[in-house]
């Protein structure tokens, strides 16, 4: 019989991770592990509860534990999607079920998910929000990385993005405002990003207040993050966004994420595969989507002072697919 165990783990962040909504010095993750001694297999998955979406560590752990009887009875990933709403708790269980299936069948997870074999990819590296001076210094230290993701915060963003460009003159830049821009500042911020050669802007306006994006010129592609969780929200993006950020903690697992990727491509949207700040276990399933993506942003382990072992192999900004000892 399959057994479910749930754990809460804490991993220190190297320094601090700061966005427009605040700063953190540790990543708190919840893991789900499914094991069956009869078949000699175990699988696991990791999620990062996010207060912005009404999630807490305790609530997500409890939501996962509530599925113990269903897991023991043989719950499938398709049935899981019907039982639980999209979000972090379902993500941990979906990924654990897929890993368990891969181990039990002796088949790689990418084959079970109907995907192509993952290959190494270039991930963005995130620069936290700070003063223009501190961000320029951080950019200078990261200037050898080919793709930087710059966290912005509203007032003063033109100076921040100009400073980052000075610090990293040759890197490709994407920016993430985390909903911090407003109608009265968006055009000036767009102009500053255009002058700095930014290639993509992520979630400039608050979710639910982004209709303006369909009424102004978008000289740089705009990517939805907080405004999109799963396929149910795709239609609302029409005319406002040019790309979407797929995060497994939003979609509620890889199963929905794959379907979302196909549906978004059919609508002509570019794709980013992104992450919360988690360990290699959270990045591993997302790596199966890298071949879909125009942008890969799976740098969570690079932001930690300590990753779990075994973890993913990073060579600079190149992230390698997971080995079965980790996941899949």
Same domain, 20 and 52: yes
Nearest of 214, 252, 210, 247 to residue 227 by alpha carbon: 210
239 contacts 215 by C-beta, under 8 angstroms: no
Same domain, 81 and 148: no
- What is the number of alpha carbons within 13 Å of residue 317 lying toward its C-beta? 18
273 contacts 111 by C-beta, under 8 angstroms: no
CATH code: domain of residue 205 = 3.20.20.120
92: exposed, middle or buried (Cβ count in 10 Å: 0-12, 13-18, 19+): buried
Same domain, 215 and 266: yes
Examine the residue annotation and report whether 149 is marked as an active-site residue of this protein: no
CATH code: domain of residue 91 = 3.30.390.10
Same domain, 66 and 176: no
Query: Is residue 326 assigned to a domain?
Result: no
Please say which residue of 71, 106, 141 terminates a domain: 106
215-261 pLDDT, tens digit per residue, is 999 999 999 999 999 999 999 999 999 999 999 999 999 999 999 99
Same domain, 250 and 183: yes
Same domain, 162 and 54: no
Give the DSSP H or E segment for 226. Answer: none
From 85, 111, 149, 247, the catalytic residue = 247
Question: pLDDT value at position 128?
Answer: 95
pTM summary value: 0.96
User: What is the C-alpha separation between 95 and 327, in angstroms, rounded?
Assistant: 9
Same domain, 69 and 196: no
291 contacts 271 by C-beta, under 8 angstroms: no
Query: Is residue 143 assigned to a domain?
Result: yes
Q: Which domain holds residue 302?
A: 121-319
Same domain, 193 and 315: yes
Question: pLDDT value at position 21?
Answer: 77
pLDDT at 101 over 90: yes
Mean pLDDT of the 200-205 span: 98
Same domain, 136 and 225: yes
Query: Is residue 265 assigned to a domain?
Result: yes
User: What is the C-alpha separation between 138 and 287, in angstroms, rounded?
Assistant: 26
Q: How would residue 178 be classed by pLDDT, with cut points 50, 70 and 90?
A: very high
36-52 pLDDT, tens digit per residue, is 999 999 999 999 999 99
- Give the total number of structural domains in the chain: 2
Query: Is residue 168 assigned to a domain?
Result: yes
Query: Is residue 116 assigned to a domain?
Result: no
Please say which residue of 74, 106, 138 terminates a domain: 106
Nearest of 102, 167, 150 to residue 325 by alpha carbon: 102
Please say which residue of 60, 80, 106 terminates a domain: 106
Same domain, 173 and 226: yes
From 103, 111, 141, 151, the catalytic residue = 151
Query: Is residue 15 assigned to a domain?
Result: yes
- Terminus-to-terminus CA distance in the chain, angstroms? 21
- What is the number of alpha carbons within 13 Å of residue 169 lying toward its C-beta? 1
Same domain, 258 and 134: yes
Same domain, 160 and 51: no
Query: Is residue 155 assigned to a domain?
Result: yes
Examine the residue annotation and report whether 151 is marked as an active-site residue of this protein: yes
Query: Is residue 327 assigned to a domain?
Result: no
220-247 b/e with 16+ CB inside 10 Å = b?
bbbbbbbbbbbbebbebbeebbbbbbbb
**Residue 170, helix vs strand vs coil:** coil
Beta bridge partners of 126: 149
């Amino acid at each position: 019989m399959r057994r479910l165990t749930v754990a809460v783990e804490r991993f220190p962040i190297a320094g601090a991770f700061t966005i427009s909504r605040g700063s953190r010095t540790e990543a708190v993750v919840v893991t789900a592990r499914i094991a069956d001694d009869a078949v000699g297999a175990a699988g696991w998955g990791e999620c990062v509860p996010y207060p912005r979406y009404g999630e807490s560590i305790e609530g997500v752990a409890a939501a996962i534990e509530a599925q113990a009887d269903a897991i023991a009875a043989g719950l499938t990933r398709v049935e899981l999607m019907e039982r639980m709403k999209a979000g972090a708790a379902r993500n941990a269980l979906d990924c654990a079920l897929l890993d368990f299936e891969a181990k039990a069948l002796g088949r790689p997870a990418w084959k079970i998910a109907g995907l192509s074999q993952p290959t190494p990819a270039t991930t963005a590296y995130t620069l936290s929000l700070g003063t223009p001076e501190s961000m320029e210094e951080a950019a200078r230290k990261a200037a050898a990385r080919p793709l930087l993701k710059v966290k912005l915060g509203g007032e003063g963003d033109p100076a921040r993005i100009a400073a980052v460009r000075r610090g990293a003159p040759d890197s490709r830049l994407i920016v993430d405002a985390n909903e911090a821009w407003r109608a009265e500042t968006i055009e000036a911020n767009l102009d500053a990003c255009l002058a700095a050669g930014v290639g993509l802007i992520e979630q400039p306006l608050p979710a639910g207040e982004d209709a303006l994006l369909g009424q102004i010129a978008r000289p740089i592609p705009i990517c939805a993050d907080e405004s999109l969780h799963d396929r149910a929200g795709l239609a609302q993006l029409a005319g406002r966004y040019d790309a979407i950020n797929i995060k497994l903690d939003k979609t509620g697992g890889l199963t929905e994420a794959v379907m979302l990727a196909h549906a978004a491509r059919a609508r002509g949207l570019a794709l980013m595969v992104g992450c919360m700040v988690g360990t290699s276990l959270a990045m591993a399933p997302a790596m199966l989507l890298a071949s879909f993506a125009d942008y890969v942003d799976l740098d969570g382990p690079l932001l930690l002072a300590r990753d779990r072992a075994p973890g993913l192999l990073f060579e600079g900004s190149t992230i390698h697919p997971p080995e079965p000892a980790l996941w899949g």
